[in-house]
Structure 1
Amino acid sequence: MTASRWTDLRPRVISAAGLIVIGLGAVWLGGIFWRGLIALSCGVMVWELVQMLDTARQRSSRVLALVAGSCALAAIYLPPALALPLLLLPSMAGFGQMERGGVTYSVFTALIMLAGYGIMALRSDFGLTWMLWMVLVVVVTDVAGYFAGRAIGGPKLWPRVSPKKTWSGAVAGWTGAAVVGLLFAGTTHAGPGLAGVSIAISMASQIGDIAESAIKRRAGVKDSSALLPGHGGLLDRFDGMLGAALFLLIAGQIVDFPPGVE
């Protein structure tokens, strides 16, 4: 183990602490505070996506970000059937604005919008407890993977796309997620099946992380932006949350959630 493995730890911790304070405050308050923060985040992530894929589109990136944020905020106040067109509108609006990466933009923007809607709906429909559960699963997955990957190392998960991620880090993330699931199962009416759901959420967050890494690799950039010292941009920080929220939005149509709760 060398000190160079941990050189980015201090700025990561400082940035993470600020994000945690803002995020927990908004989650706790709920309502327009939480929805506004998520809508703003969706807009920023779309801006970062355009910046990565087509650097010549400075004005377009701002316009599409505004469209995305506005649609995300409006969608949560509408019935789901009417919200769906709004969630896909930013993807459609980008087709004519992009000279490069239009397909990647449209698909990933749709995922951002659907995930943002899922995160807002989770807080509204299931309350603070289950919103905190998902956040903790994703955070523990990231933290456990970070430390295990650097302390243990070993075979790489997908070296061509994300050379720092290892199987040891992935498994550590699943283990940490299972522990979170069992802790919540013990303090709520959810059964032990929550551990399995938590592991699946952990895997989905890792897939979201890798998907964003693939976009960065294709775009030839290290970070989605420089907004967060030690973390890059919002997409770098919340790619796992996007994967987790999107998976939960889909899985919730297949299995009862929360498991064991009538």
Structure 2
Amino acid sequence: MSRELQLRIRSGIVMIAVALLCTWYGGFAFRLLAAIIGLGVFWEWSRMTRVADKTVRGLAVGWLAVTSVAANVLVGDAGLSLPLLGGFLITLAIMAALRRWPWWLPGGVFYAGLCIVALAAIRDDDALGFVAMLFVFVTVWSTDILAYFVGRTLKGPKLAPRISPGKTWSGAVGGAVAGMIGGSAVVFAYFSLTGWWVPAIALLLSIASQAGDLFESFIKRRFGVKDSSHLIPGHGGVMDRVDGLVTASFAAFAIAMGLAAAQSGTADSIGYLLFDLAGRS
């Protein structure tokens, strides 16, 4: 085993252990993890897209937006996080429309800010939040692992050769099936549920995870970057590790909000919306 692979394995074990430990404790510990991930994502996004080369002032506003959302998630009113993020995004979008600042700036604030909000909302502070976050984690991890091994084994037609030449349709299908099975197994291990909605949601999250992977590959190819950064030994940057998790979290958050809106549901927990309200839809 090469030294680089050993380093990659050790770093991966540490990251998984930290993620699971923070998920277990929940509360401030997990919100802090979400904030660190979001801030790391925005730092890498702004570097890759070279926002600072076009507007230092705009970048300062971008940092103010993301740090404000992170601070509100940590010690403020969670219900204000989305309106706060929305206010900043409107301001940044107006400046981008006026061609004062690049569109990559509001895009980065949206991506990093909603990452913080979605992760914190999914975990929440109750038992359902713990299961919901495990559900997302296992779905994404199962997708990543099986997509890699199935793709390398079966190969076949490329999924998106211009964006990510190494990805295949066989890997995408294998990853989606694995994500659906892995995510469903987590939920069924905790609850005596029957029905199609949990595997269906897991499948949607798996597809979103793979779309997120392709999206980051597009950004890196667009700006000629190999890794988002070198913050994580053997793995590249934060975005390289959480691209699928971010978009899967977006999808879980959006599905839960959509279910609540469609049924006039009122709940304090994303887990309730995904596993209980969805089952009655």
What TM-score comes out, normalization by structure 1 length?
0.85
The CA deviation at 1:104 is 2.3
The whole-number CA distance in structure 2 between the counterparts of 1:15 and 1:248 is: 27
Matched, 1:21 2:17: yes
Equivalent residue for 2:233? 229
Equivalent residue for 2:118? 118
Equivalent residue for 1:177? 179
- Code of the aligned partner of 2:82: L
Tell me if structure 1 keeps the 8 A contact 2:39–2:67. Answer: yes
- Code of the aligned partner of 2:32: G
The whole-number CA distance in structure 2 between the counterparts of 1:257 and 1:59 is: 41
Tell me if structure 2 keeps the 8 A contact 1:115–1:249. Answer: no
Equivalent residue for 1:192? 195
For 1:78-104, what per-residue CA distance to the aligned partner results, in whole angstroms no more than 9, with x for missing partners?
A: 253x322322466546968xx998212
The whole-number CA distance in structure 1 between the counterparts of 2:245 and 2:279 is: 24
Equivalent residue for 1:260? 279
What secondary structure does 2:167 align onto?
strand
Matched, 1:36 2:39: no
The whole-number CA distance in structure 2 between the counterparts of 1:160 and 1:138 is: 23
Equivalent residue for 1:147? 149
For 1:9-64, what per-residue CA distance to the aligned partner results, in whole angstroms no more than 9, with x for missing partners?
A: 54432221110111111111111111011111111110000100117559776884
Equivalent residue for 2:269? none
Distance 1:221 1:143, change over 3 A: same
For 1:160-198, what per-residue CA distance to the aligned partner results, in whole angstroms no more than 9, with x for missing partners?
A: 011111111111111111212332343214333211110
Equivalent residue for 1:243? 247
Counterpart mapping for 1:97-116 below 5 A: 102-116=102-116
Distance 1:83 1:56, change over 3 A: closer
The CA deviation at 1:69 is 3.4
The whole-number CA distance in structure 2 between the counterparts of 1:160 and 1:225 is: 22
Equivalent residue for 1:167? 169
- Aligned positions, number: 255
Name structure 1 gaps, 5 residues minimum: none
The farther-off stretch of 64-73 and 179-188 is 64-73
Query: In structure 2, which of residues 32, 35, 46 is the aligned counterpart of residue 50 of structure 1?
Result: 46
The farther-off stretch of 174-183 and 238-247 is 174-183
The whole-number CA distance in structure 2 between the counterparts of 1:24 and 1:174 is: 22
The whole-number CA distance in structure 1 between the counterparts of 2:19 and 2:4 is: 22
The CA deviation at 1:136 is 0.5
For 1:93-135, what per-residue CA distance to the aligned partner results, in whole angstroms no more than 9, with x for missing partners?
A: 6968xx9982123124203311321111111163211211110
Tell me if structure 1 keeps the 8 A contact 2:92–2:105. Answer: no
- Code of the aligned partner of 1:163: P
Equivalent residue for 2:85? 87
Name structure 2 gaps, 5 residues minimum: 260-272
- Code of the aligned partner of 1:72: A
Cα root mean square deviation, aligned: 3.0
Equivalent residue for 1:136? 138
The whole-number CA distance in structure 1 between the counterparts of 2:150 and 2:10 is: 20
What secondary structure does 1:141 align onto?
helix
- Code of the aligned partner of 2:182: V
Distance 1:54 1:132, change over 3 A: same
Equivalent residue for 1:78? 77
What secondary structure does 2:110 align onto?
helix
Distance 1:108 1:176, change over 3 A: same
Tell me if structure 2 keeps the 8 A contact 1:141–1:177. Answer: yes
Identity of aligned residues (%): 34
